[in-house]
């Protein structure tokens, strides 16, 4: 279980890592999301850059406009009585916009003459504007512009205006954050929309796949493919698959007719061959009985050989007749019989075939089934004959009948070499003969014995299987459904 879970996880990771292994709807959604992401990134980058430039330009223009106003409104003059420079007007707060701006006024020597205070207080604004430098600089998070204050063309001092760039930077960062969030949100929405659209587009394909899987499981080409509501490529595919199914159904019907005719021919031919073969056997047996003299030993040997071949041919024709009837559906009439009694008769007939083998029968309970006594007799006899053929001398062969649930179970087990696992899949096929070192009757079988066992079990709505016996040999288990009512009777066990 752990290994299976690990394999499933590895397969899932391979599908995630390799996009080629993704379902079509995932790939369509991924392509849609990728295109949307690329478009939004280009569009967002352009818009963000334009917005950033515009905001910075507006900010710079505000700073420059404030400096130009200060140049026009401020006046610096020298007062001879006091020997000091005087700035008019003295209140600079009116020129501060917004409140985080700072103003410094310097004389020609760079000595500070006046400055702004914090709004609502008399504390001087301590913003670090630095030494006055004509022009525009950015320093300590401030954008600072310095201009010369002139009177009648004479430079009498400097005005320095600084404004924090924090508000401007925050606005730009918020814009970029909104752009990134929009790109991510748009990509996610495009992914979801792509999955929804792809799933809707693939719905007819999924319906065709489900129908094809059902037809594959049931092997019934007479079913029809669903017809998509729109005549597009999917509709053309559905129509093509429907035409293919109709062709396969017609070919299957023709094949079934041909096979049925073949089965009926084999059944009829096998039935017709039984009469002349019976006649030939009877004549050969009479001829064999009439050749008793010493001078007729050579003729008797020829007759014995012909008689053996005729008997083998008769058995083969009987086997083919039974299989042909099963294939053609010509089942023998079923009656309520005791499977235990039928198996006991088969065991009595098979006892001479056991030789030196130890033959054990466990058959102490009547098992009422609906079936053909002759066919079930043949099934049990073939199982016992197969065990005798493929086990060495002094081996143990057991026949056990029991009831398991609603089934009568016939088990034939041995302690021989068993059956290789590679052969078990085809052991019930026709003309399959397994030969091994323990075989005692090599070359005399037709390869139809176990095929007949499978056919008889199938014609009685039962099953047959092969597995290992507790002693290491082969165990054949046939199951036949129990009749609806049954009477319990005891049969004594016997050992041959």
Tell me the per-residue pLDDT of 219-265, one tens digit each, with 9 for 90 and over: 787 788 887 776 777 788 888 888 888 888 888 888 877 777 776 77
Q: Is residue 30 part of a domain?
A: no
How far CA 118 is from CA of 126, 127, 377, in Å, comes to 9, 10, 117
Q: Is the pLDDT of residue 201 over 70?
A: yes
pLDDT of residue 105: 81
Confidence of residue 400 (pLDDT cuts 50, 70, 90): very high
Beta-carbon contacts of residue 165 (< 8 Å; ≥ 6 apart): 59, 138, 141, 142, 143
Most confident of 52-61, 92-101, 118-127: 52-61
Look at residue 214 and tell me if it is in a domain.
no
User: If pLDDT is split at 50, 70 and 90, which confidence band does 214 have?
Assistant: confident
* Whether residues 153 and 94 fall in one domain: yes
> Which stretch of 9-13, 209-213, 418-422, 428-432 has the lowest confidence by average pLDDT?
9-13
**Which domain-ending residue is among 151, 167, 183?**
167
The CATH number given to whatever domain includes residue 149 is 3.30.450
Specify whether 225 is located in the same domain as 317: yes
My answer on whether 346 and 379 are in the same domain is yes
Look at residue 490 in the predicted model and tell me its pLDDT: 40
Q: Which residues contact 286 (CB under 8 A, 6 or more apart)?
A: none
Please report whether residue 209 resides in a domain: no
How sure is the predictor about 435, in pLDDT bands with cuts at 50, 70 and 90?
A: low
326 plus 348 within the same structural domain: no
Domain membership of residue 111 (yes or no) is: yes
Rg over CA atoms, the chain: 52
Domain assignment of residue 247, yes or no: yes
- Residue 406 belongs to what domain range? 333-495
Q: 284 and 324: one domain?
A: yes
**43 part of a folded domain:** no
Q: What span, in angstroms and rounded, lies between the C-alpha atoms of 438 and 450?
A: 18
Question: Which helix H or strand E contains 40, and what residues bound it?
Answer: helix 24-73
Report the number of distinct structural domains present in the chain: 3
Sheet architecture: strand order including 142-151:
112-115, 102-107, 154-164, 142-151, 135-139
Q: What is the pTM of this model?
A: 0.48
Looking at the DSSP assignment, which residues form a beta bridge with residue 102? 162
């Amino acid at each position: 279980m752990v290994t299976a879970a690990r394999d499933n996880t590895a397969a899932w990771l391979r599908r995630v890592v390799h996009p080629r292994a993704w379902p079509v709807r995932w790939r369509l959604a991924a392509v849609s999301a990728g295109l949307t992401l690329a478009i939004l990134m280009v569009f967002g980058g352009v818009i963000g850059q334009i917005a950033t430039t515009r905001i910075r330009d507006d900010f710079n223009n505000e700073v420059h406009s404030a400096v130009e106003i200060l140049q026009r409104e401020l006046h610096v003059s020298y007062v001879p009585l006091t020997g000091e420079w005087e700035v008019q007007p003295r209140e600079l707060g009116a020129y501060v916009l917004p409140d985080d701006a700072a103003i410094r006024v310097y004389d020609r020597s760079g000595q500070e003459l006046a400055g702004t205070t914090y709004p609502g207080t008399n504390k001087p604004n301590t913003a670090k504007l630095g030494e006055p430098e004509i022009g525009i600089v950015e320093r300590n998070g401030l954008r600072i512009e310095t201009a010369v204050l002139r009177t009648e063309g004479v430079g009498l001092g400097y005005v320095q205006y600084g404004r924090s760039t924090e508000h401007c930077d925050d606005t730009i960062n918020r814009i970029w954050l909104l752009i990134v969030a929009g790109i991510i949100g748009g990509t996610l929405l495009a992914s979801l929309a792509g999955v929804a659209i792809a799933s809707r587009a693939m719905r007819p394909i999924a319906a065709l796949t489900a129908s094809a899987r059902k037809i594959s499981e049931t092997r019934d080409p007479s079913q029809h493919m669903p017809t998509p509501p729109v005549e597009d490529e999917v509709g053309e595919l559905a129509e093509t698959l429907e035409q293919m199914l109709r062709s396969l159904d017609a070919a299957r019907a023709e094949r079934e007719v041909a096979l049925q005719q073949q089965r009926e021919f084999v059944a009829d031919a096998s039935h017709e061959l039984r009469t002349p073969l019976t006649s030939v056997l009877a004549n050969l047996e009479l001829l064999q009985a009439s050749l008793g003299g010493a001078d007729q030993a050579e003729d008797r040997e020829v007759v014995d050989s012909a008689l053996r071949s005729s008997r083998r041919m008769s058995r083969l024709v009987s086997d083919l007749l039974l299989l042909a009837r099963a294939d053609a559906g010509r089942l023998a009439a079923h009656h309520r019989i005791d499977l235990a009694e039928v198996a006991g008769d088969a065991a009595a007939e098979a006892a001479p075939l056991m030789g030196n083998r130890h033959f054990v029968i466990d058959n102490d309970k009547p098992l009422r089934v609906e079936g053909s006594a002759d066919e079930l007799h043949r099934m049990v006899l073939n199982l016992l004959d197969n065990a005798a053929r493929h086990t060495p001398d002094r081996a143990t062969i057991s026949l056990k009948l029991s009831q398991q649930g609603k089934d009568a179970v016939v088990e034939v087990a041995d302690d021989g070499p068993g059956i290789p696992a590679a052969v078990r899949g085809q052991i019930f096929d026709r003309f399959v003969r397994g030969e091994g070192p323990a075989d005692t009757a090599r070359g005399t079988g037709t390869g139809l014995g176990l095929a007949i066992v499978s056919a008889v079990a199938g014609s009685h709505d039962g099953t047959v299987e092969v597995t290992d016996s507790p002693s290491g040999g082969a165990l054949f288990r046939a199951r036949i459904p129990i009749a609806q009512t049954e009477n319990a009777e005891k049969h004594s066990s016997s050992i041959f």
